[in-house]
Structure formats: C-alpha cells, structure tokens
Homo-oligomer: A and B are copies of this chain.
Amino acid sequence: MIDMIKQWRHVFKLDPDREITDNALDQVCMSGTDAIIIGGSSGITYDNTVELMSRVRRYELPCVLEVSDLEAVVPGFDGYLIPMVLNTTDSQWIIGQHQQAIERYGYLIPWDLLITEGYIVLHADSTVARLTGADTELTTAAAAAYAQAGERLLNLPIIYMEYSGTFGDMELVSETHRQLERAHLIYGGGIDTAEKAGQAAQAADTVVVGNIVYSNLSQALETVQAVKGSA
C-alpha cells in the first residue's frame, strides 16, 4: 500500500456528497492523475460512497477511500486511508474513534489495506478544523514538531498537511518536509490553478486537488501536468 502511494505525485480527491457528471468524471480519470481518493468531511454515506466508487472503478486507476465515517466504509477499494489528527486536543480524532471501530469491527478489518495518515489541519475556517477542534495556529516549528512526532514516535507512513479551503504556506510545508526522514508528505488545500499546483509539487511528495474539480474542471485538469512536470 505505502509503496503504491509513494509513487503518486498528483491525485484528485472526489467527494461522494457532490455531483459529478459522467463526462466530467471521465476527464478526471483520464487526466493522467495517479489516483483517486474518495472522501469528504460531511454527508458521506454508504450509498453515495459505493455509487462513486463503482463509477471510478470503470477506469484503470488506483482508488482509495479516506475513511471519515464508519457507516460509509465500502469494501472493494484498493486501500483505506485512516486519518488521525495530530494537532487536536480531542483524543477522539487521534485514537478514540479508531479504538471504537476496532472494538466493533475488528475481525472484519483488512489490516494490510490500511494506511494511517497523520493529519496536520492548518486552516481554521474549514469543516475539518471545526469538526476536530484542531489547533490550526501553528508556527512552522510547531507544525514540523507535529510531523516529527507522527513520523518518529508513531511511525506513521504519511503526514498529510491539510489546508482545506485555502492555499497554504508553502514555506511551512517545505520546512516540515525537510524535517521528515521517511514519512511521505501529502499536501491538500486551495489548489485552483496550475501555478499553485506547481508550487505545492515543489513542497510536498503528493499533491491533492479537490474542490476545483467541481467549480472549474478545465483548471482542475491543468493541475495534473503542472504537478507531473515539476521536479
């Protein structure tokens, strides 16, 4: 699983709670992106997840589910990303919900398809920040320290810097990246132009493009080459 993810430079994140036409989905999946992540912060159900998965499954593209709601865990994905919010004061979002899920579904869990992501949530005005009570006011040193705690004390294979709703501080992302030795750094948030995609590609290992798919498809498609053409 992690070996596959480490090869991804560009991925589109699609939200089961939002409409996408067959034509738009075709362009997204044929864009040259490396993978599709299915996930979102609200309104995710089993039904809308299974529907979107089956539509994406027509394409030969890795498709993973970022698990946000236990009720919406659908079998058949290539992998399951398990977010763990590092910069929250509410332990439910670090380990509590995970423990409850294991207690309930333990024997059903396909452990070798699971990858834990250490999320650092950095945009206060976002659904995920409000939902998880994340402390988003981090200096570069504080963010890097969360990333190192995730990598070295928790052995997390992925650190995910989440600026959902705004384009992030690329200096902060780059510096955090420099402090990591093994973990794979994913960046997401506010990428709505090829230029921003290129900047994010310089700072992170994998660039996630989400919302712009729904508001400006052609600009979303341009981010693929901007990332893949980046060093």
From the candidates B103, B106, B145, B156, name the one contacting A100 in the complex (CB within 8 A). Answer: B145
Within the complex, the shortest CB–CB distance from A61 to chain B, in Å, comes to: 26
Q: A94-111 interface mask toward B, CB cutoff 8 Å, 1 = contact, 0 = none?
A: 111011101100100001
Question: Closest CB of chain B to A10's CB: distance in Å?
Answer: 26
The answer on a CB contact under 8 Å between B99 and A89 is no
B residues less than 8 Å from A150 (CB atoms): 95
A155 to B100 alpha-carbon distance, docked (Å): 18
Given contacts A84-B153, A114-B152, A155-B155, contact A145 B91 (CB under 8 A): no
Q: Does A148 reach chain B (CB closer than 8 Å)?
A: yes
Question: In the complex, A209 Cα to B172 Cα: how many Å?
Answer: 46
Interface of A is mostly: helix
What 1/0 flags go to A146-182 for Cβ under 8 Å of B? 1011101111100000000000000000000001000
Interface footprint category on A: 35 or more
Q: Are B95 and A154 in contact (CB under 8 A)?
A: yes
Nearest chain B residue, comparing its CB with the CB of A112: B152
A153 adjacent to B114 (CB under 8 Å): yes
User: Across the two chains, which residue of chain B brings its CB closest to A92?
Assistant: B89
* B98 and A153 contacting across the interface, CB-CB below 8 Å: yes
A149 in contact with B90 given A103-B142, A154-B156, A155-B154 (CB within 8 Å): no
A-B contact pairs, 28 of them (CB 8 A): A86-B95, A86-B99, A88-B91, A89-B92, A90-B91, A91-B91, A91-B94, A94-B95, A95-B146, A95-B149, A95-B153, A98-B149, A98-B153, A99-B145, A102-B145, A102-B148, A102-B149, A103-B141, A103-B142, A103-B145, A106-B145, A106-B148, A106-B179, A111-B152, A116-B153, A116-B154, A116-B155, A155-B156
Closest 8 CB pairs of A and B: A155-B155, A103-B145, A102-B145, A116-B153, A154-B154, A98-B149, A99-B149, A91-B91
Name 19 extra pairs, CB < 8 A, besides A82-B153, A84-B153, A102-B149: A84-B154, A86-B95, A86-B99, A89-B91, A89-B96, A90-B91, A94-B95, A95-B146, A95-B149, A95-B153, A95-B154, A98-B153, A99-B142, A99-B145, A106-B148, A106-B179, A154-B155, A154-B156, A155-B155
